[in-house]
Amino acid sequence: MVDYTSTPPRKPGVPVWVWIAGGLALLLCCCLGLGGALYYYLHPGAAEPVAVAPTGTWQQQLAGIDGVRNYLADGPLSQDHAQGGVAYPQQPPIGGQHNGTWQNCSGAVYDEPIASERAVHSLEHGAVWITYRPGIADDEVRALAAKVSGRDYLMLSPFTGQDAPISLQAWGYQLKVESADDPRIDFFVNAARQNAGPEIGAPCSGGTRQTGELPPAGTAA
């Protein structure tokens, strides 16, 4: 016969250490979730690993590239020819007075610095001039050369004293980057090449391949 008046046996209680462990696990999950949210907020670029090329006209494309400086916003640039050296306000220069002979820009890769005055003439013809600071890693230079070699209206050369490892120049526009694998290089080239120069259709072949600076102003070029 069952005794319904007796007290049933008590179930064993949950050990205290189980409660502590569970609480710590919950706290850890909360911390990880909060940390991930903060990282996403402070580093939004991490959620966008694939760069998207800007669209629109070539001017709109250049305007859509982060870091591009549009010097034409300050006014037109001189297209006059000059003898000897020219003191440019930008280094490397992006336009202005230039030598009467342009630098060959038919996919030319120069191992030595070239005259800015001749490079600027090439920019006038619609070329993009990519420069790099001497001393950057060889693989960076090779990567840049691969982008330029054999492609008309492009040229590559070292430029002593520039403040960024790599700089891109078109007539009136400039972009400075840290690495040859920066996708903005291709965006800039695709937008500005054969578009930015005021003398569209002028040749890039037939120019000089001479390297080195021009003599001071007032002397023969």
| Residue 15: per-residue pLDDT | 66
* Domain boundaries defined on the chain: 16-46, 58-192
Tell me: pLDDT of 203 over 70: yes
Segment 36-55 mean pLDDT: 59
- 215 — pLDDT class (breaks 50, 70, 90): confident
Q: Is the pLDDT of residue 49 over 50?
A: no
pLDDT score recorded for residue 51: 79
Query: What's the pTM value of the predicted model, to 2 decimals?
Result: 0.76
C-alpha 197/C-alpha 188 separation (Å) is 14
Task: Report whether pLDDT(216) > 80.
Answer: no
Token digits for 71? 């010097």
* pLDDT confidence tier of residue 35, bands split at 50, 70 and 90: low
Q: 1-5, 126-130, 137-141: lowest mean pLDDT where?
A: 1-5
In terms of C-beta density within 10 A (0-12 exposed, 13-18 middle, 19 or more buried), how is residue 25 classed? exposed
Chain-wide mean pLDDT for the chain? Answer: 86
Q: What is the structure's pLDDT at 50?
A: 63
CA 138 vs CA 13, 97, 123, 152: distances in Å: 69, 33, 26, 23
DSSP alpha helix (H) spans, the chain = 16-42, 58-63, 116-124, 138-148, 184-192
In tens, the pLDDT along 151-190 reads: 999 999 999 999 999 999 999 999 999 999 999 999 999 9
Q: Which residues contact 218 (CB under 8 A, 6 or more apart)?
A: 83, 84
